[in-house]
Amino acid sequence: MSYSVPFALINGRLLDPSSGLDQTGGVLIDQGLITNIGSHINIKYCERQKIPFQDCQGHCIAPGLIDMRMQVRVSGATLTESLSSTLQAAAAGGVTSMVCLPNTKPILDHAEVVSYLRHAANQAQKTKLYCYGSMTQNLAGQQLSEMGYLQQAGAIGFTDGMKAVDNPKVFWKALSYAKTFKSLILQYAEDPRLAEGTLATQSYLSTKMGLPSVPACAESMQIGRDLHFVALTQSPYHSFPITTKTAAGIISQAKQHQLPVSCSTSPAYFCLNEQAIQGYQTLAKLSPPLREESDRLAVIEGIKNGLIDCITSDHSPQDDDSKKTTFVQSSAGAAGLETLFPLSLRLHHQHGMGLLALLKCLTSNPADILGLSQGRLQIGKPADMVVFDVAKSYAIDIHAFRGQAKNSPFHHFPVKGKILQTYVNGRQIYNNF
């Protein structure tokens, strides 16, 4: 499909979570924007207007996924995944916008690094890559980063990524300072002193396996502490990832008290539990660790009842060698861009969550939290879209990943639902129709 002439996707099931649209019809795209949408965009319309079209054969047409927690490797890391490889994985995963953590090398605590990354991603004209600036300089948790400059360069929020800013004075200042620039603070939900040196969640299994472990309360302790400062400053706060029932409880109370709080989780925490590390399976070594079954069920419940606002990929590419070692020495993290969609659909197929409600967690909710205008299938919005087959059953095959990183605990995992095409600004960046 050419970018420079209008074209249409017709005969699809139109899905727009933010407006509640769920009907058969088509979308007209021109100059990178959605210019018309509805049941009237059909073959007759296209023939009359002489507009090239694609028949979606009844498959779903939805806004492209917005992934608000993932990692890129910037330089010197071609063994794990290059930026272009990450962009390929995102396209295959149906992700049209994503936000990366600042734990790149060099760290996103200087405006120049942010500018470089944004520029490199824009050049590629594929998935829109945004980034979070670091909350503290050098991710050291002591001195505030230059949030003003970082925001000017394009940072859309601030976080220390894979660890919480633990010092209460520093965190309080970070929340206050971010509010000066009307920006969002995102905090990794785990008390770093409790988590230090641990590899698994504290339980009978990890005890039996002899693995140093962290109690589940380390998550709610960090969040609970943070929420006092959120109440004091009324500054927007996002907690991620939510993996335990106690954390879900605390977030629920905070929302009832109308605090400016949001949160997200990723599929590993509602598709797997700690049993996945049996046999010292390094592909299931994640940070934070996989939890007990009761936590997994609480996460599912939290997503279904709207307590957990978004689902993210938590894409953490690791090279083969770093996982092909002992559990203790293995790197933590899983590639997640290409499994985000099918795994999230399990909430619809197996746990009775409405398709629109589920897609909201992947599109307009993250867009709203981040202040992005995309994530909606509406006239005037950027034509960032996916076409997907909601019913196709298959097993996840890591060797079919378009991205370089294959470190996923979901190889052979049975799923239902497949991305067929991905569009960014009306340009097709992935096609597997």
Partner 1 sequence: MAAAVSFPQHLLAIEDLSALEIQAFLALAENYTHPSFVQNQRSLLKGLTVINLFFEESTRTRTSFELAAKRLGADIINIATATSSLKKGESIRDMVLTLQAMKLDVLIIRHPESGSVDFISKQISSGAVINAGDGTHEHPTQALLDALTIKRHKKNISGLKIAICGDVLHSRVARSNIHLLGKLGAQIHLVGPRTLIPQYFSQSNIQIDYSLREGFQNADVIIMLRLQQERMQGAFVPSLEEYMDFFGLTMEKLKHAKPDVLVMEAGPINRGVEISGQVADNLSYSAILEQVEMGVAVRMACLDALTQKKRLPT
Active site residues: 314
Q: How far is the CB of 250 from partner 1 (least distance, A)?
A: 24
Span from 167-175, 310-318, 327-335, 349-357 in contact with partner 1 (CB under 8 A)? 167-175
Q: How far is the CB of 227 from partner 1 (least distance, A)?
A: 18
Tell me whether strands 7-16 and 60-63 are parallel, antiparallel or unpaired. parallel
How many residues make contact with partner 1 (CB under 8 A)? 19
DSSP 360-420: HHHTHHHHHHHT-S-S--STTSB--EEEEEEEEEEE--GGG-SSS----TTTT-EEEEEEE
Neighbours of 420 (CB within 10 A): 19
145 binds partner 1 (CB under 8 A): yes
Helix axes 245-256, 217-233, angle to 10 degrees: 20
DSSP 179-197: HHTT--EEEESS-HHHHTT
Asked whether 233 and 207 are in contact (CB, 8 A), the reply is no
Phi/psi of residue 115, nearest 5 degrees: -60, -45
179 binds partner 1 (CB under 8 A): yes
Q: How far is the CB of 410 from partner 1 (least distance, A)?
A: 40
- The binder of partner 1 chosen from 19, 23, 75, 143 (CB under 8 A): 143
Q: How far is the CB of 401 from partner 1 (least distance, A)?
A: 39
373 binds partner 1 (CB under 8 A): no
Give the span between the Cα atoms of 151 and 268, in whole angstroms: 31
137 binds partner 1 (CB under 8 A): yes
Q: How far is the CB of 223 from partner 1 (least distance, A)?
A: 21
Q: Could you tell me the end-to-end alpha-carbon distance of the chain, in angstroms, rounded to an integer?
A: 13
3-state secondary structure of 267: coil
Structure tokens at 177: 């300072």
187 binds partner 1 (CB under 8 A): no
138 binds partner 1 (CB under 8 A): no
Q: Which residue number, 146 or 314, has a Cβ lying nearer to partner 1?
A: 146
- The binder of partner 1 chosen from 142, 294, 373, 393 (CB under 8 A): 142
CA atoms within 13 A on the CB side of 35: 12
Q: Which residue number, 165 or 383, has a Cβ lying nearer to partner 1?
A: 165
Q: Which residue number, 181 or 394, has a Cβ lying nearer to partner 1?
A: 181
254 binds partner 1 (CB under 8 A): no
Q: How far is the CB of 236 from partner 1 (least distance, A)?
A: 13
Q: Which residue number, 109 or 314, has a Cβ lying nearer to partner 1?
A: 109
- The binder of partner 1 chosen from 22, 24, 38, 181 (CB under 8 A): 181
CA atoms within 13 A on the CB side of 97: 25
Q: Which residue number, 148 or 354, has a Cβ lying nearer to partner 1?
A: 148
**Binding positions for partner 1, 204-233, rule CB under 8 A:** 233
Burial group, residue 44, by CB count within 10 angstroms (0-12, 13-18, 19+):
exposed
Spell out the residues 6+ positions from residue 287 whose beta carbon is closer than 8 angstroms to its own.
162, 316, 332, 333
Residue with tokens 């050419």: 2
140 binds partner 1 (CB under 8 A): no
Spell out the residues 6+ positions from residue 282 whose beta carbon is closer than 8 angstroms to its own.
323, 324, 325, 326, 327, 330
Give the span between the Cα atoms of 368 and 102, in whole angstroms: 21
- The binder of partner 1 chosen from 1, 120, 170, 259 (CB under 8 A): 170
Structure tokens at 255: 């929302």
Q: How far is the CB of 152 from partner 1 (least distance, A)?
A: 9
- The binder of partner 1 chosen from 148, 168, 371, 414 (CB under 8 A): 148
Tell me whether strands 310-311 and 261-265 are parallel, antiparallel or unpaired. parallel
146 binds partner 1 (CB under 8 A): yes
- The binder of partner 1 chosen from 13, 163, 173, 296 (CB under 8 A): 173
Binding site for partner 1 (CB under 8 A): 137, 142-149, 169-170, 173, 176-177, 179-181, 233, 235
